[in-house]
Structure 1
Amino acid sequence: MQQAGLIHPSNPGCYYYLPATVRSMEKLVRVIDQEMQAIGGQKLDMPSLCSADLWRRTERWELMGKELFRLQDRHSADYCLSPTHEEAVTTLVAHQSTLSYRQLPLLLYQVTRKFRDEPKPKLGLLRGREFYMKDMYSFDVSEEAAYGTYESVCEAYTRLFSRLGLRCVQVQADTGNIGGTLSHEFQLPADIGEDKLLVCESCSFSANVETLTSDQTNCPKCNIGTLELSKGIEVGHTFYLGKKYSNIFNAAFSNTQNKPTIAEMGCYGLGVTRILAAAIEVLSTDEEIRWPGLLAPYQVCVLPPKKGSKADDASAIAEDVARGLSGTLAHLKGEVVLDDRIHMTIGKRLKDAKRLGYPYVIVVGQGALEEQPKFEVICQNTGETMFLSKDGLLDLLRTVETV
């Protein structure tokens, strides 16, 4: 991403997100919003600057150690830049004194910057100190209902990665310093991944090696298959928290007998910027960036001929094609780029287009000047090249999915 000009380094583990990356991230957030709101999620925004008093009440001020970015205000009060918001959201819900069982389950989520003092930030956006995350927190009337919510969020995550065209594995995981009694990671299999996974060859069982004994080779679920070791990039994590936080902050609701009852909780994270980087890692080749189709910053790049070349007269046609696609196909409005650097050869601009990962590149050359105009269309994600008429081009791009 850095070589392609998508991000630029700032401090260790921190990056400028350049315009194409911001476009891609905004698209990812729209897909996340669709999936979270489909299961009843409500979006909010919580402060990144959180009081140490909240974290001391859960004992995580000490437990998190050097991972927390800590600071003091002018009055010497302690704060942290939050890596996660369990304390904050539970306090918010606890202050809703009229909360009724009729209003549950309550699923609150945000997409915001998070901060973690990584000892060795590396691999670009895969492990940074400042990053974007979607974090959701659920409040339910009972343990049974909370498990149902947990399953619905896991299913939403599975749908999300399916829509992005990414193979994602849900694995049994450790609860770590978040806590709770049940946890799953969502991993994209990749050789560069930092997590070691054990996957059964016979059934659906998979787990992070942290959760199993070091010498375990037989599947604990089916007792038949052998566990195969692989690597993955963690892009999501879910936790069933029970009453760990709601008890501490008295996050209660009125039950059917109108008596105060402590809510059952879950929390669910998605690494927004990490998903972008991980998707590029698993989909791209050495020479070309390949985005998930929904997340490409732009869907189409039109290349006019070089100025002064034999096909120079086709420049006007290229401009018409770019305008026409945005005007004729509503879903491509704002999704078409005209590379007007006509002082450069088409070959050079085509190389740049592949480096940036436009799903479709349309080369407007000599063929566009023929009696039956033809356009060279390169499909980045398949490597296929086609020569299409204008109608054929419209038919092809009419099927492009956008958000």
Structure 2
Amino acid sequence: MLRGGWREILLRLGTHSRFHHCPPARRARLLQSQLFRPMNLREDRVPALESKPSELTCKSQQLMLQAGLIHPTSPGCYSYLPYTVRAMEKLIALIDKEMQAIGGQKLNMPGLCSAELWRASERWDLMGKELFRLTDRHNKEYCLGPTHEETITDLIASNGTLSYKQLPLLLYQITRKFRDEIKPRFGLLRSREFYMKDMYTFDVSEEAARHTYRIVCDAYCHLLSKLGLQFVKVQADTGSIGGKMSHEFQLPAGVGEDRLLVCPSCKFSANVEMVKPDQKECPACQGELTETKGIEVGHTFYLGTKYSCIFNAAYSDAQNKPVTAEMGCYGLGVTRILAASIEVLSTEDSIRWPGLIAPYQVCLIPPKKGSKEESAIVLTDALYDDLAEAVPQVEGDMLLDDRTHLTIGKRLKDANKLGYPYVIIAGKRALDTPSEFEVWCQNTGEVVFMSKEGVIELLSNVQAV
């Protein structure tokens, strides 16, 4: 045994070891220089866009390409780069909250769908050329799913009869979808591969199914309102999906491809497909209808028994008798909401995000190296650490623009382009006593000067997803 015993050895280690009084690890900072945002792409390595550069008339497409948020891989298909993925993950978290608040259960179905199921519903031919079709090595036919009514109904039917006590059943997923657009355009607004939230509901009766329909529509309204988006819920055609009733959730926008008729005097609104070609008066109050354009970001359908009859999706009632389930289906375009929100909120040269889903909430800009204000760099570092400690909801949601070889002006211009809700600059007044930071509140257009304590108080009001 060592002389002095373990107690003496540990005391000596405590006094002399390099581990003694080890300072706490410094909080890792997110640095602009380390983020992957390709800006200078070689033209010979960029696949052809769905439009020539001179024809990119869609604001969201222009801004997302110029800011390095998306990268075209083929017409209608894009790589979503880190900034966009952060925004999309925040949006998905919001959608999950809304869907689970009304009893939704999340699952995941395959993108590769059997032609046999689609033929059973007769949509294999009805969908026409928009359906991506392929054949495997065993000559079995499949499609890349644009939607999953057949798959989910077959899943329910194949698991035996449900009990009426299990209903309503609300099942949803958020996955990639595919549509062979004849002319993909406007970036993520009309692409061939996209993310969608699709929910499928099963109810005991038409009355119950219509009640569920209203609940899901209300959840859509709550989500879009929470994002700060102006939207219109309009009566719509059921199209190739079918059913007894349908509504679209539209963001009014000049680039929108849907024509909407809205009555300013009452709540009536409809897709132009739902009214007579020469109709000018509101069918509800006889007021004059106003026409506008919109971007569809959501679509709901009351299906009735269209699919449950085909696949024999039934439940056992209180007398233990099988009854065909009533169904609904509900879609939200995840990537379309991202692009559409940029389209309607942004300026011509600067992205504006809904605050809740901005990729980063805060960007801190220290002075340029070699400038008169260079000593304020340490103040920016300290502010970053203090904010991370004092405002938990922005920890991990702040970015330090450490490209101090660039002027503050160039970095501020880049920050404006990317749409951070808050940009904090350490300029001349940061060196004053008391020290003040220049704070740009992008979504309101305000520029104010604040102490460190004022900045902490301001950001304490930032909402987290």
TM range (shorter): over 0.9
Q: Deviations over 1:350-395 (max 9, x none)?
A: 0000000000000011211111010000011111100001111111
Instruction: State the one-letter code of the partner of 2:88.
Output: M
Where does 1:125-164 land on structure 2 (aligned, <5 Å)? 125-164=188-227
- 1:355 and 2:433 equivalent? no
After TM superposition, give the deviation of residue 96 of structure 1 in Å.
Answer: 2.2
Structure 2 equivalent of residue 87 of structure 1: 150
Task: Name the residue aligned to 1:296.
Answer: 358
Equivalence for 1:203: 266
Maintained 8 Å contact 1:105/1:140: yes
Matched, 1:235 2:294: no
CA offsets per residue over residues 213-253 of structure 1, 9 Å max, x none?
00001101122x11000000000000000000000000011
- In the alignment, the residues of structure 2 paired with residue 117 and residue 98 of structure 1 have an alpha-carbon distance, to the nearest angstrom, of 36
1:8-64: CA deviations, max 9, x gaps?
A: 101100000000000000000000000000100000000000100000000000000
Tell me the distance in 2 between the aligned counterparts of 1:274 and 1:197.
18
User: 2:29 maps to which residue?
Assistant: none
Aligned residue for 1:10, secondary structure, equals strand
* Residue equivalent to 2:435: 373
1:274 to 314, 336, 340: 336
Residue 319 of structure 1: how far off its partner (Å)? 1.0
Return the alpha-carbon distance in structure 1 between the equivalents of residues 154 and 377 of structure 2: 61
Aligned to 1:264: 326
Q: What is the rounded CA distance, in whole Å, between the counterparts of 1:254 and 1:5 in structure 2? A: 54
Contact 1:326 1:335 in 2 (8 A): no
**Where in structure 2 are the equivalents of 1:95-244 lying within 5 Å?**
95-223=158-286, 225-244=287-306
Find the aligned partners of 1:358 and 1:368 in 2 and give their Cα distance. Answer: 21
Q: Distance in 2 between matches of 1:369 and 1:103?
A: 65
Amino acid at match of 1:13: G
Q: What SS class does the counterpart of residue 65 from structure 2 fall into?
A: coil
Shift of 1:170: 0.2
State how 1:56-67 maps to structure 2 within 5 Å. Answer: 56-67=119-130
| Stretch moving more, 58-67 or 365-374 | 365-374
- CA distance in 2 between partners of 1:383 and 1:338 (Å): 21
* Distance (Å, rounded) in 2 between the aligned partners of 1:402 and 1:346: 28
Normalising by structure 1, what TM-score?
Answer: 0.99
Q: Aligned equivalents of 2:207 and 2:392: distance in 1?
A: 45
Q: Retained in 1: the 8 A contact 2:261–2:270?
A: yes
Could you tell me which residue of structure 2 aligns to residue 333 of structure 1?
395
TM-score, length basis structure 2: 0.86
**SS class of match (2:262):** strand
Q: C-alpha distance in 1, partners of 2:363/2:177?
A: 34
Distance 1:192 1:70 in 2: 30
> CA separation in 2, counterparts of 1:10 and 1:221?
47
1:221 & 1:2 partners in 2: Cα distance?
44
Q: Secondary structure at the match of 1:148?
A: helix
Distance 1:202 1:137 in 2: 34
Within the alignment, does 1:343 sit opposite 2:405 as a pair?
A: yes
Name the SS for the 1:2 alignment partner.
Answer: helix
Q: Which residue of 1 aligns with 2:96?
A: 33
In 2, Cα distance between equivalents of 1:322 and 1:267: 45
Q: What is the RMSD computed on CA atoms of the aligned residues?
A: 0.6
The Cα offsets for residues 249-268 of structure 1, whole Å up to 9 and x where unpaired, read as 00011111111111000000
Q: Which runs of 4+ in 1 moved over 3 A?
A: none
Q: Distance in 1 between matches of 2:439 and 2:137?
A: 60
Matches within 5 A, 1:1-80: 1-80=64-143
Between 1:363-372 and 1:338-347, the stretch displaced more is 363-372
- Could you tell me how far 1:98 is from its partner in structure 2? 4.5
In structure 2, the residue matched to 1:384 is 446
Aligned to 2:7: none
User: Rg larger in 1 or in 2?
Assistant: 2
